[in-house]
Amino acid sequence: MSRPTTPVTWFEIGTDRPEDAERFYGELFGWTFEEQAPTNGGSYRVTGAGGDTGIGGAIRATDGTSPNYAVFYAEVTDVEQTCRRAEAAGGRVLVPARTTPAGLTLAHLLDPAGNHLGVFAPPPQQP
């Protein structure tokens, strides 16, 4: 019997520094954001980050009393180059690029607001 799957279709980054997060993800991945009607006086900036093949998401401004949060993986073509670009944009590399036995290359990064994220490149296609 197969079990139903639940695909990830949205992500949210909670931060007390939404401007820094927007700048970082814009510089790193080229994402653009649009402010939606704020709820409870807070900022909610939506992005169609994934285009036709990925997921959308948003940055939610927090009041600084709750921890910032985010964990997601963005698919990139070159993990090591993305790590260098992340550092240039003000982020840090937490776990340097490594390749799994299956051929997937990944790294863990920290954005300027302290959010943890991952980047990966799928294994090369076999001919």
- Dump pLDDT digits (tens) for 25-43: 999 989 999 888 665 667 8
Residue 37: predicted pLDDT: 66
Q: Is the pLDDT of residue 57 over 70?
A: yes
pLDDT at 6 over 60: no
CA distances from 91 to 35, 41, 86 (A): 23, 28, 5
> Which class for 107: exposed (0-12), middle (13-18), buried (19 or more C-beta within 10 A)?
buried
Q: Token digits for 97? A: 């690029």
Q: Which 3 state secondary structure label does DSSP give 86?
A: helix
Domains and CATH numbers, the chain: 10-121 (3.10.180.10)
| pLDDT value for 4 | 62
Q: What is the mean pLDDT of residues 1-19?
A: 73
CA angle 68, 71, 87 (to 5 degrees): 85
CA 115, chain centre distance (Å): 9
Top-confidence residue, 98 or 126: 98
Whether 84 has a pLDDT exceeding 60, the answer reads: yes
